[in-house]
Amino acid sequence: MNNRSYSARQLKEQIKNKSLSPQELSSSIISLCNSVQEKYNAFISIDPDIISKEIEALFDDKLKVGDNAPLFGFSYSLGDNIATSGYVTTCASKMLSTYKPPLDAHVFLKLKENGAIIIGKTNMEEFGIGCSGESSYFKGVKNPWNTKHTAGNGAAAAVLTGVVNFSLASDVRGELRQAASYCGVFALKPTYGRISRRGLLDSASSLENIGLMAGNTMDLAAALTAVAGHDPHDVTSLRSEAPDYISLLEGNSKELQAAVPENWQDAPYLEDELKDIFQGQLKKLEELGIKIHFVQLPHFQHSSLTATIISAVEAFSNLANYDGVRFGYRAEGRHLQEMYTLTRSEGFSSKLKKFLTFGALVSSAKYYNDYFLKAQKLRSVITKELEDCLQRYDLLLTPTTPFRAPGPGILPGREELPDPAGYYTAAANLAGLPALTYPLHTKGLPYGLQFTGKKEDELTLLKAALLLENENTLAFPNFDFNNQGV
């Protein structure tokens, strides 16, 4: 356990023995939200009325939320590209700044069923593409460890500050894990299809997943258990039922075999300090009984390039419905085509405009075969390489990002094609594999350690994380809020 402001389990006790009134709880949560918002800009929407109502329901025996609901007392946030009919859902874009979706996302409904309360919708890069803190219409999220640096997204900042127990956000080429690494929290991108994508306003359907962040492994597992599983309304969701991760985590774990890409140090912008830290972690893992094997994965290094091309082309297509006709922002034009062009040029950020143009370019007749099609072939090769490797080993071990949260002094904050932050993370999206980032709290900004696992085997990743968590004392910072919460 860590020293964040409150835990769901403690809260549950307090609600049960009524040592806390709903008003007290609401006002403390709302004021904590406001502080986090003021300092870090973590949220796009916070609605005190919704929070108060949800909390009252927790105390009201007549209402459905029984205290035996698995997530009773848990609070969470959703990335603002996950549909909620009660809140505007903006994708951090001017294009959708007032958009209310007609339906709720599958995950929202599942979490409600499980008793969790939603605190708000978190800030992110526009449409969840990238993690460098430049393209949100609502401005970037500041990193609570050092506000000069980006937090990657609001979901990570919200978890880090303890204003929520867990948060959900999307992961296209690793954004969820990168932000968690930048903020030093846990994150899991499950197997593609493990969590229904219904209600996700996705930019790249074949790569993008909803993933989870939390302050510890058990919270991550609890949230995953609630939202995972087949959804008949998402034909790409896994047919197999998801297990109860919490109960399985209690069992003994066998000795794990971990693979490390031999050339892991080839990443552009790799920080020297990270090299030492990663090597130190390998030793530590060996001591904990995780056996390390260096392996050759010759195409792994091209993952980010491959995923950047594919995500740009899919975004070009997925975001083509943002045309000012049925919803969202519209600029006036003298005729239809001018209206389209002005709407999209004014409604999207400069970064997204360039990215979509890039997507149009690499899929144009001239470049289709040499770039887009080649990237899809390379995707097959990378997938096969990873699957072969994971046949022999339980997990693949890498840093999560080559560098810490971008900001002054830590360079790759600018736009780049391919995205250097995705060097280690993008492979899991290409292959649809689960990947977990474990926080490493060091002096200054944190790092992340990434475990990539076999298809549908989130459990092994959670076990490995728990093993480390039990041995390490994570030093979560104490945030100096006027009102420290409960």
Q: Write out the binding residues for other proteins, residues 426-485 only, by CB under 8 A.
A: 429-432
For other proteins, which stretch binds (CB under 8 A), given 36-44, 179-187, 367-375, 457-465? 367-375
For other proteins, which stretch binds (CB under 8 A), given 139-147, 220-228, 233-241, 395-403? 233-241
Site for other proteins in 376-415 (CB under 8 A): 376-381, 383, 415
Q: Is 422 among the residues that bind other proteins (CB under 8 A)?
A: no
Residue whose CB is less far from other proteins, 378 or 421: 378
Site for other proteins in 280-339 (CB under 8 A): 299, 302, 305, 308-309, 313-314, 316-317, 319-330, 332-339
For other proteins, which stretch binds (CB under 8 A), given 56-64, 66-74, 221-229, 375-383? 375-383
Instruction: Round to whole Å and give the CA distance between 485 and 309.
Output: 44
Instruction: Report residue 477: phi and psi, to 5°.
Output: -70, 155
For other proteins, the binding residue among 55, 83, 180, 397 (CB under 8 A) is: 83
Among 283, 234, 243, 227, smallest CA distance to 260 is for 283
Burial 168-190 (b: 16+ CB within 10 A, else e): bbbbbbbbbbbbbbbbbbbbbbb
The site for other proteins, by CB under 8 A, has a size of 98
For other proteins, the binding residue among 262, 358, 472, 486 (CB under 8 A) is: 358
For other proteins, which stretch binds (CB under 8 A), given 57-65, 102-110, 257-265, 395-403? 102-110
Instruction: Round to whole Å and give the CA distance between 394 and 397.
Output: 10
For other proteins, the binding residue among 79, 128, 154, 199 (CB under 8 A) is: 199
Q: Is 353 among the residues that bind other proteins (CB under 8 A)?
A: yes
Residue whose CB is less far from other proteins, 316 or 476: 316
The alpha carbons of the chain give a radius of gyration, in whole angstroms, of 21
Residue whose CB is less far from other proteins, 1 or 336: 336
Residue whose CB is less far from other proteins, 373 or 486: 373
Q: Is 361 among the residues that bind other proteins (CB under 8 A)?
A: yes
Cβ atoms of residues 355 and 129 within 8 Å: yes
Burial 117-146 (b: 16+ CB within 10 A, else e): bbbbbbbbbbbbbbbbbbbbbbebbbbbbb
User: What x-and-dash track marks residues 117-156 binding other proteins by CB under 8 A?
Assistant: ----------------------------------------
Q: Is 59 among the residues that bind other proteins (CB under 8 A)?
A: no
Closest distance between other proteins and the C-beta of residue 437, in Å? 19
Q: Is 263 among the residues that bind other proteins (CB under 8 A)?
A: no
For other proteins, which stretch binds (CB under 8 A), given 153-161, 163-171, 347-355, 436-444? 347-355
Among 458, 483, 485, smallest CA distance to 186 is for 458
Q: Is 79 among the residues that bind other proteins (CB under 8 A)?
A: no
Q: Is 239 among the residues that bind other proteins (CB under 8 A)?
A: yes
For other proteins, the binding residue among 39, 94, 354, 441 (CB under 8 A) is: 354
Residue whose CB is less far from other proteins, 25 or 319: 319
Residue whose CB is less far from other proteins, 57 or 342: 342
Closest distance between other proteins and the C-beta of residue 258, in Å? 23
For other proteins, the binding residue among 138, 145, 186, 348 (CB under 8 A) is: 348
Residue 229 C-alpha from the chain's centroid: 18
Closest distance between other proteins and the C-beta of residue 324, in Å? 6
Residue whose CB is less far from other proteins, 11 or 201: 201
Instruction: Round to whole Å and give the CA distance between 84 and 74.
Output: 18
Instruction: Round to whole Å and give the CA distance between 137 and 152.
Output: 14
For other proteins, which stretch binds (CB under 8 A), given 16-24, 149-157, 371-379, 445-453? 371-379
Residue whose CB is less far from other proteins, 10 or 236: 236
Cβ atoms of residues 400 and 461 within 8 Å: no
Instruction: Round to whole Å and give the CA distance between 254 and 14.
Output: 37
Say how many residues make up the chain. 486
